[in-house]
Structure 1
Amino acid sequence: MCQIESEEGVKNVNEIIAVDGMDCVMMGPRDLSASLGILNDPANPKLKSVMRMAEKAVLDSDPANGGAYLAGMATAQDKALDLKARGYHVVLGSTDVSLYKKAVVDEVNAFKA
């Protein structure tokens, strides 16, 4: 499994999928937005367009014939059901940043108690 999180990764998605043993490709929209110079603009049409290009390439690869599964993270902009509707095979219910934030907030609250 790998994560596509840069413009270069999107440009090379077909080559990445073709790597022997590459069974799953995860999209990284936040890092991809940073790579495109539009961090903190998750609704930007350029990001959406680039994401769709990469998603299509992965979905067209067909895991049953040596291609890869498509994975992603539910976000405020792309809910789990949105990703499912676009064909994602695997959807994480949260992002790493939000999980870290929750852990830190829980620790601070426990300390205050």
Structure 2
Amino acid sequence: MCQVETVDGADKAAEIAAVDGVDAIQMGPLDLSASLGYLWDPGHKKVKGVLREAEKAVLGSSEGKKGAFLCGFAMPHDPPEELRNRGYHMVSGTVDTGLFCSAAVEDVLRFKRCLKSEVVEEEEEEEKKYWSE
């Protein structure tokens, strides 16, 4: 499995997909957007255009023979249904950095909620002490 995530990779997607032993081509829209000068903007019109051409090249590589599978990442601007409609064989719902980021944010939020509940419990205890005197 190879990942296409640069302008050069996208331009040579058909050649990469045709290499004997390459079973799948994974499109990397975030890195491709950076390669094109649109950092963190995989939905930019130019990025989408380059990506569509690379997708067609991979899908066209299988004409008349077993070609490489087209794989990619579902994103908010490009949901799994759209990728399937464009011919993707495998769609990933998330990536490791996204999972780690979500887990870290949730951990911090859980900690903050814990601190808030401790403050509320302490206030309730203080209130009870006050009224019991």
Same fold (TM over 0.5): yes
User: Is the contact between residue 63 and residue 69 of structure 1 (CA under 8 Å) also seen in structure 2?
Assistant: no
Count of residue pairs brought into register by the alignment: 113
Match of 1:30 in 2: 30
Alignment match, 1:80? 80
User: Structure 2-normalised TM-score?
Assistant: 0.76
Runs of 4+ aligned structure 1 residues displaced above 6 Å come to: none
Q: Which residue of 1 aligns with 2:19?
A: 19
1:55 equivalent in alignment to 2:55: yes
Q: CA separation in 2, counterparts of 1:92 and 1:82?
A: 13
- Given that 2:32 and 2:42 are in contact with CA atoms closer than 8 Å, whether structure 1 keeps it comes out as no
Q: Secondary structure at the match of 1:65?
A: coil
Greater Cα shift, 86-95 or 60-69: 60-69
The structural deviation recorded for 1:43 is 2.4
Match of 1:8 in 2: 8
SS state of the match for residue 22, structure 2?
coil
- Unmatched tracts of structure 2, length 5 or more: 115-133
Whichever of the two has the greater Rg, that structure is: 2
Unpaired runs of 5+ residues, structure 1, are none
Q: Which has the higher helix share?
A: 2
TM-score, normalisation: structure 1: 0.88
- Cα deviation 1:48-80 (Å, max 9, x = unaligned): 110001000111122882310000010011001
